[in-house]
Amino acid sequence: MSFLSSERACLEKEDPEIAGLFAKEAKRLQDGLELIASENVASPAVLAALSSVFSNKYAEGYPGKRYYGGCEWVDPAEEMARSRLKRLFGAAAANVQPHSGAQANQSVFLAALQAGDRILGMNLSHGGHLTHGFKLNASGKLYDAAFYGVDEVTGQIDFNRVREAARQHQPQLIIAGASAYPRQIDFKTFREIADEVGAKLLVDMAHIAGLVAAGVHQSPVPHAQFVTSTTHKTLRGPRGGVVLADEEHGVAIDRAVFPGIQGGPLMHVIAAKAVAFGEALKPEFRDHAVQVVNNAKALAAALVDSGVHLVSGGTDNHLLLIDLRQSSFSGQEIEDRLAQVGLTVNKNTVPGETRSAMVTSGVRIGTPAITTRGLVEEHMKPLAGVISDCIADVEGWQERGRKMVAELCSSLPLYDGVFGSKGYAWNGQNNI
Ligand code: DSN
């Protein structure tokens, strides 16, 4: 990868201030454990594609039908991204141009709805997403948004209530998918409810896409007219979005993405998406996804054993949601305290939340990035011990936490060679 080191040398010479920030971020990643459920560690190959000459190219349109000349090398890259994505999820149609998950969702709204139509999504404070109808988001301003939630006792989606909400609100589009829901989602039942009220179904699988690709979570693709995702969470690619559609809606989605909501696609990101989809098609990726879920289950079990309350009592996927309502600390306070020992998490609302979203009564924890780094089940008990001692304010938790994090981080180095000097040690699938 002299490619990346020579680019880095150029940057250091040209702009040492920015290069210095990359070095600091690389050190932050190396010295801490990343537990934010929506983050991951992309491979050096994905980073190389992001840092490529494709960044220079304008390519409005689609392969073979562009508004610019000189697209002969970006066209096959977009074709590869599209065909690999379709193969990964068994989808009839795919669009790899959305710059983000938010834009992927917006393109579905444009393709499927008229302004003012009604949408039914999951309540944000119950684990939904702001692009599913939140009042300050375009989805809540341009469309008439109604919501379903989880049962506050079980912490799980109650389909009787979803059905009731669908019958009451008669939406044109039902949105399934969440940002902070630790359980499997039954997409087949969502589709039955959508059909019953004459709505279309959009599944936003951003959080679980890698698990779906690996077959460790039910796929929404056979059930939904539209499936959106980001590419950087469990799927472990570059930051970006994609849309999958059934045969009937593929053309409408292409028109909605361009020229509907976007201009020129980011061809370097599309090439990086192709690289990530290629990685996800390899058998090792399935082993990785199984380990992500095994780690989350082991961490959840160890936390519950230590007396920590989890929304829904555990997890089926890559994340868990700690309920701090019986603790003396808020979500913000626990986020800050864990940061002191090198554990990065995010505060999160819990169902029935009474604090503001800037404070919260919960903390969301995910295992994708630490699994890429090489952590396995045996590491989860000590990790849970530090987190539970932090929440219970047990004396000496910081010293124990710092020691555990330092030992793990030095034994599992990350990205040496890209930002350091020792040669690669990216741990995704143990050293590509
Ligand atoms: N903000 C992302 C998350 O952290 O889940 C979702 O877009």
Q: Above 80 in pLDDT, residue 366?
A: yes
CATH of residue 67 = 3.40.640.10
The reply to whether 298 falls in a domain is: no
Closest ligand 1 atom, residue 131 Cα:
7
Q: Is 399 a catalytic residue?
A: no
- Domain range holding 65? 53-280
**pLDDT tens-digit series, residues 391-409:** 999 999 999 999 999 999 9
Q: What is the mean pLDDT of residues 101-125?
A: 97
Q: Above 80 in pLDDT, residue 195?
A: yes
- What is the pLDDT, as a whole number, of residue 419? 44
Cis peptide, bond prior to residue 259, ω within 30 of zero:
yes
38 lines ligand 1 (CB under 6 A): yes
- What is the pLDDT, as a whole number, of residue 427? 58
Q: How far is the CA of 321 from the centre of ligand 1 (A)?
A: 14
Q: How far is the CA of 19 from the centre of ligand 1 (A)?
A: 27
128 lines ligand 1 (CB under 6 A): no
The reply to whether 392 falls in a domain is: no
- What is the pLDDT, as a whole number, of residue 310? 98
The reply to whether 391 falls in a domain is: no
- What is the pLDDT, as a whole number, of residue 7? 77
**pLDDT tens-digit series, residues 67-77:** 999 999 999 99
Q: Above 60 in pLDDT, residue 1?
A: no
Q: Above 80 in pLDDT, residue 416?
A: no
CB of 369 within 8 A of CB of 35? yes
Q: Is 60 a catalytic residue?
A: yes
**Which pLDDT band holds residue 423 (cuts at 50, 70, 90)?**
very low
Rounded CA-CA distance 374/372 in Å is 5
Query: Taking all residues of the chain, what is their mean pLDDT, rounded to a whole number?
Result: 94
**pLDDT tens-digit series, residues 146-180:** 999 999 999 999 999 999 999 999 999 999 999 99
CB of 423 within 8 A of CB of 417? yes
- What is the pLDDT, as a whole number, of residue 4? 61
349 lines ligand 1 (CB under 6 A): no
Two tokens at 87?
A: 């193969």
The reply to whether 327 falls in a domain is: no
Largest CA distance in the chain: 66
Q: Is 239 a catalytic residue?
A: yes
Give this prediction's pTM: 0.95
Task: Give the residue whose CA is nearest to atom 5 of ligand 1.
Answer: 179
- What is the pLDDT, as a whole number, of residue 23? 87
Q: Is 381 a catalytic residue?
A: no
Q: Is 204 a catalytic residue?
A: yes
Catalytic member of 233, 273, 337, 347: 233
The reply to whether 70 falls in a domain is: yes
179 lines ligand 1 (CB under 6 A): yes
The reply to whether 419 falls in a domain is: no
Q: How far is the CA of 179 from the centre of ligand 1 (A)?
A: 6
The domain total for the chain is 1
127 lines ligand 1 (CB under 6 A): no
* Sequence-distant (≥ 6) Cβ neighbours of residue 239 within 8 angstroms: 100, 230, 231, 232, 269
Closest ligand 1 atom, residue 39 Cα:
4
Task: Give the residue whose CA is nearest to atom 2 of ligand 1.
Answer: 38
Q: Above 90 in pLDDT, residue 353?
A: yes
**Which pLDDT band holds residue 413 (cuts at 50, 70, 90)?**
confident
Q: Above 70 in pLDDT, residue 282?
A: yes
| Beta strands at 346-348 and 362-366: parallel, antiparallel or unpaired | antiparallel
The reply to whether 145 falls in a domain is: yes
- What is the pLDDT, as a whole number, of residue 414? 84
The reply to whether 399 falls in a domain is: no
368 lines ligand 1 (CB under 6 A): no
